[in-house]
């Protein structure tokens, strides 16, 4: 029986190995994970890590060298562009592989494969939005263009060269924690990434909420709540510009009153939408107004802030191109940056290019729908969602002439839908090749190159700012935008015939634009692109006016502008909204009704310097008080029914109160008393003080503490990989639009002097590895409102002291 102890100990050993080699719930395979030669310890990069290496890949055509500067920014010197894009793909993968793939999995609705059944609804939403469908159509368009195809193929090969040569111990730590492995990259994944950005930037709409509001309040009051113009508008193209007659004429359908405006069908769907704050600032100041006599271009795109950052900084240099700037891990080329001749940047155009149509299906099989007087056959897409450790989920999605049926009884975001079907017409479903735009900008030598490049940007529409060394500045509100009749697509449209379809696209040359204007600068901050009273096409009303207003005010006053002035402007915390709104709080406050304690807070508000700086208490008091005032005024009306609605824009309330203190919605309809603005302001302030007192007791009354900015890891539960409690001011309506989790994701300033003088910073670091000192190395600089000089390395600078390491590539 001597064999028994052997067998017992052997079984224990094997059982231990098996148990420690598998995942238990969210606990990663412990043995594999803690092994110092395989697991997470391998991701603990030595702080003096030397990144030098020599790599050989048969896919390359020539020798190339990548020089890393002290911030780990790669400067790629290749002999041809194919090699440059291959290396870009390789470097993106080397430093950001997990993030690149995770973003694409999120875009494609494949997160459940990684994290299990808690993301099934998230994934279904992406499938029903038609993300995969859109990416497939874009891919065909991208691959039909030989330049784009070559660029994407090389990039994909570069990513895959890294993946193939990677040892398991080199897997990014998130793969080890979540226990899965990367797939090969593909051009489709690049297309899916671009659609991820399209959704973030051009996926916004309020069709269901606006329909509900119109039905509950009537069209007249709807227009009071959600106007399609603003008193304070200072559009991107200054007022007074004379627009030519529209090239396309569109007409509202004859049934518009009965079938559209007077229709009272509501739906309690509350769509999950991208952050409406996805916006940005950009401007270019002409040489007349700068100290150097050369233009200065500035851009700071506002996005959700995450680690690893959405941006990766690099320089790509070949005999035919020398471009520097922010790149997207997941796509080739530079997105926001500059070359030897010019600089370019973007802000979001904010147009509504996503509209819902109510469909009439013959029965619940959804095989046929009524369109133009006959039953039309639906196309079906069978989307299989793989779920980690669980059976697959199959979603059958019907496609109509408009697009996918996003909401029906099987998927409705918890609404009860009986015989109701809503199809989505989304511009991002139309084939287009946006990479061609960025390829063109990266190569652009002058205004005309810029112009022909940006014509390729269809979705998401962007305000492209431009400045060149030859002295030109320009801005185009560019995208392929549907020409709409007034209120078209603000509400759910009938989908039973073609009369409510988008009739035409606005001709590209009629997109609002301006070059070298008299005032000496161009700017945009997501405000109305054009004066809605003068522009011949309907623009909707989803534009925040205030950042644009204050940027233009400052730029108008400035002369002899330097890059330092621009840094100050980009990080400016002055709250112009508060400048206009605080007088209402002061004028209509019933002081006599305030307790001593409340009076103390009110005094702080009155003496506040209108700056959202980190240590200002007044900023917190203003924001909290205004929020309660908004609620006091609107919440009674908006919660009259259980139907989802959105709050009106800040500008709507402010402009209404500035015009008329007897604003219709001031009265609280749930009480017998007729409330006045004075009642609302005083009551709101008293409620605000309860919140403020609590914040004060917790030591969080100062604005920076109250706002509590953080940059979170893409997996929200991985808080130790996040940076929290960052001391940074600003906020909504400040040029420094830094909110709690959202804000300037890349700040760039480029002075187009003969030798380019550029500065930049982003809230992250070049490495996506939480175990690297380069993971978050820019965050403190960013939070402090400081910048790094951007080094445009020359071919002759190979001995420069700034070079920390180099990788040599050859075939």
Partner 1 sequence: MKFIVSLLLTALLSFVSGLYLPWWGIAVAAFLVAVVIPLKHGIAFIAGFAGVFLLWGGLAWWIDAANNSILSKKIALVLPLGGSIVLLILITAFFGALVAGFAALAGSYLRKLVVE
Contact residues for partner 1 (CB under 8 A)?
2-3, 5-6, 9-10, 12-13, 16-17, 20-21, 30-32, 34-48, 173, 177, 718-721, 770-773, 775
At closest approach, how far in Å is the CB of 101 from partner 1?
Answer: 20
Contacts 24+ apart (CB under 8 A), 712-716: 712/305, 712/306, 712/307, 712/741, 713/306, 713/307, 713/770, 714/99, 714/102, 714/103, 714/306, 714/307, 714/308, 715/174, 715/178
At closest approach, how far in Å is the CB of 42 from partner 1?
Answer: 8
Phi and psi at residue 101, to the nearest 5°: -75, -40
Residue 5 or 391 with smaller CB distance to partner 1: 5
Residue 31 or 276 with smaller CB distance to partner 1: 31
Residue 4 or 220 with smaller CB distance to partner 1: 4
Residue 521 burial (CB count, 10 A): 25
At closest approach, how far in Å is the CB of 31 from partner 1?
Answer: 5
Residue 786 burial (CB count, 10 A): 14
Write out the two tokens for 507. Answer: 């001709």
Distance CA 324, CA 338 (A): 6
At closest approach, how far in Å is the CB of 801 from partner 1?
Answer: 24
At closest approach, how far in Å is the CB of 723 from partner 1?
Answer: 11
Distance CA 630, CA 123 (A): 34
At closest approach, how far in Å is the CB of 740 from partner 1?
Answer: 21
Residue 18 or 690 with smaller CB distance to partner 1: 18
SS3 514: strand
At closest approach, how far in Å is the CB of 769 from partner 1?
Answer: 8
At closest approach, how far in Å is the CB of 585 from partner 1?
Answer: 42
Among residues 367, 489, 353, which one has the least CA distance to residue 421?
Answer: 367
Is the CB of residue 273 less than 8 Å from the CB of residue 545? no
Residue 20 or 646 with smaller CB distance to partner 1: 20
* Length, in residues, of the chain: 811
SS3 648: coil
At closest approach, how far in Å is the CB of 183 from partner 1?
Answer: 21
Write out the two tokens for 125. Answer: 């939403």
Residue 2 or 725 with smaller CB distance to partner 1: 2
Distance CA 191, CA 137 (A): 9
SS3 784: coil
At closest approach, how far in Å is the CB of 180 from partner 1?
Answer: 16
Distance CA 636, CA 666 (A): 10
Residue 35 or 661 with smaller CB distance to partner 1: 35
Write out the two tokens for 697. Answer: 């007791």
At closest approach, how far in Å is the CB of 10 from partner 1?
Answer: 4
Distance CA 496, CA 480 (A): 25
- Contacts of residue 48, defined as CB under 8 A and 6 or more positions apart, other chains included, come to none
Residue 49 or 395 with smaller CB distance to partner 1: 49
Residue 306 or 733 with smaller CB distance to partner 1: 306
At closest approach, how far in Å is the CB of 495 from partner 1?
Answer: 48
Among residues 729, 735, 734, which one has the least CA distance to residue 707?
Answer: 729
Residue 720 or 796 with smaller CB distance to partner 1: 720
Write out the two tokens for 668. Answer: 């609280």
Residue 499 burial (CB count, 10 A): 17
Secondary structure of 10-74 in HEC code, one letter for each residue = HHHHHHHHHHHCCCECCECCHHHHHCCCCCHHHHCCCCCCCCCEEEECCCCCCCEEEEEECCCCE
Residue 37 or 146 with smaller CB distance to partner 1: 37
Residue 21 or 808 with smaller CB distance to partner 1: 21
Among residues 174, 209, 201, 137, which one has the least CA distance to residue 492?
Answer: 209
Tell whether omega for the bond before 808 is within 30 degrees of 0, i.e. cis: no
Distance CA 284, CA 386 (A): 48
Residue 9 or 662 with smaller CB distance to partner 1: 9
At closest approach, how far in Å is the CB of 511 from partner 1?
Answer: 47
Token look-up 């309040």 returns 217
Residue 560 or 716 with smaller CB distance to partner 1: 716
- Give Dmax (Cα) for the chain: 101
Write out the two tokens for 15. Answer: 């059982």
At closest approach, how far in Å is the CB of 40 from partner 1?
Answer: 6
Residue 31 or 238 with smaller CB distance to partner 1: 31
Q: Residue 340: is it exposed, middle or buried by C-beta count within 10 angstroms (0-12/13-18/19+)?
A: middle
SS3 135: helix
At closest approach, how far in Å is the CB of 267 from partner 1?
Answer: 42
């Amino acid at each position: 029986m001597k064999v028994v102890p052997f067998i017992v100990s052997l079984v224990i050993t094997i059982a231990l190995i098996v148990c420690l080699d598998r995942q238990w719930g969210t606990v990663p395979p412990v043995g594999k994970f803690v092994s110092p030669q395989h697991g997470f310890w391998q991701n603990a990069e030595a702080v003096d890590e030397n990144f030098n290496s020599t790599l050989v890949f048969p896919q390359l055509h020539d020798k190339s060298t990548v020089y890393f500067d002290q911030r780990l920014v790669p400067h790629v010197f290749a002999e041809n562009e194919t090699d440059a894009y291959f290396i870009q793909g390789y470097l993106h993968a080397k430093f950001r592989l997990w993030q690149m793939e995770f973003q694409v999995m999120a875009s494609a609705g494949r997160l459940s494969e990684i994290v299990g059944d808690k993301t099934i609804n998230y994934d279904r939403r992406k499938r029903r939005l038609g993300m995969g469908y859109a990416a497939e159509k874009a891919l065909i368009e991208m691959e039909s263009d030989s330049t784009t195809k070559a660029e994407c193929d090389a990039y994909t090969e570069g990513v895959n060269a890294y993946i193939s040569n990677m040892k398991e111990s080199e897997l990014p730590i998130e793969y080890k924690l979540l226990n899965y492995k990367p797939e090969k990259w593909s051009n489709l994944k690049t297309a899916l990434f671009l659609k991820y950005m399209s959704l973030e930037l051009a996926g916004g709409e309020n069709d269901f909420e606006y329909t509900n509001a119109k039905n509950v309040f009537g069209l007249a009051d709807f227009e009071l709540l959600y106007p399609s113009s603003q008193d304070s508008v200072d559009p991107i193209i200054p007022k007074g510009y004379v627009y030519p007659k529209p090239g396309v004429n569109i007409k509202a359908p004859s049934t518009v009153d009965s079938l559209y405006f007077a229709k009272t069908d509501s739906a309690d769907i509350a769509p999950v939408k991208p952050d409406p704050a996805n916006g940005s600032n950009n401007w270019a100041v002409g040489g007349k107004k700068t100290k150097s006599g050369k233009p200065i271009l500035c851009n700071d795109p506002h996005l959700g802030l995450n680690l690893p950052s959405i941006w990766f900084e690099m320089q790509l240099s070949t005999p035919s191109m020398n471009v520097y700037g922010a790149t997207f891990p997941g796509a080739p080329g530079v997105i926001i940056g500059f070359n030897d001749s010019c600089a370019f940047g973007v802000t979001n155009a904010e147009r509504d290019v996503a509209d819902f149509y109510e469909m009439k299906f013959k029965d619940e099989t959804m095989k046929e729908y009524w369109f133009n007087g006959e039953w039309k056959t639906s196309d079906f897409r069978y989307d299989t969602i793989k779920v980690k450790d669980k059976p697959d989920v199959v979603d059958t999605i019907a496609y109509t002439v408009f697009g996918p049926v996003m909401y029906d009884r099987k998927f409705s975001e918890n609404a009860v839908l009986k015989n109701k079907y809503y199809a989505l017409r989304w511009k991002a479903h139309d084939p287009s090749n946006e990479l061609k735009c960025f390829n063109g900008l990266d190569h652009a030598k002058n205004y005309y190159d810029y112009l022909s490049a940006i014509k390729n940007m269809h979705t998401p529409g962007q305000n492209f700012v431009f400045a060149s060394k030859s002295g030109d500045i320009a801005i185009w509100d560019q995208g392929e935008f549907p020409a709409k009749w007034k209120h078209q697509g603000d509400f759910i449209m009938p989908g039973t015939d073609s009369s409510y379809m988008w009739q035409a696209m606005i001709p590209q040359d009629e997109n609002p634009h301006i070059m070298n204007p008299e005032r000496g600068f161009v700017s945009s901050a997501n405000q109305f692109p054009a004066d809605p009273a003068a522009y011949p096409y309907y623009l909707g009303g989803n534009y925040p006016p205030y950042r644009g207003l204050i940027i233009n005010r400052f730029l108008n006053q400035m002369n002899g502008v330097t890059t330092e002035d621009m840094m100050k402007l980009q990080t400016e915390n002055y709250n112009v909204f508060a400048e206009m709104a605080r007088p209402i709080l002061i004028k209509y406050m019933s002081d006599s009704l305030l307790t001593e304690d409340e009076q103390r807070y009110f005094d702080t508000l009155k003496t506040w310097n209108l700056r959202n700086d980190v240590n200002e208490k007044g900023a917190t008091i203003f924001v909290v008080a205004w929020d309660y005032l908004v609620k006091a005024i609107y919440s009674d009306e908006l919660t009259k029914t259980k139907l989802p609605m959105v709050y009106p824009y800040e500008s709507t309330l402010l402009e209404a109160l500035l015009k008329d203190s007897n604003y219709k919605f001031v009265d609280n309809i749930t009480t017998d008393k007729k409330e006045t603005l004075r009642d609302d302001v005083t009551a709101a302030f008293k409620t605000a003080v309860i919140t403020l007192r609590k914040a004060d007791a917790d030591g969080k009354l100062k604005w920076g503490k109250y706002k509590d900015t953080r940059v979170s890891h893409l997996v929200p539960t991985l808080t130790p990989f996040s940076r929290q409690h960052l001391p940074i001011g600003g906020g909504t309506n400040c040029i420094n639009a830094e909110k709690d989790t959202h804000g300037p994701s890349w700040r760039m300033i480029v002075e187009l002097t003969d030798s380019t003088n550029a500065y930049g910073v982003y809230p992250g670091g070049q490495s996506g590895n939480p175990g690297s000192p380069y993971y978050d190395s820019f965050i403190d600089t960013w939070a402090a409102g400081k910048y790094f000089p951007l080094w445009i390395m020359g071919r002759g600078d190979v001995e420069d002291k700034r070079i920390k390491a180099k990788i040599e590539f050859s075939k």
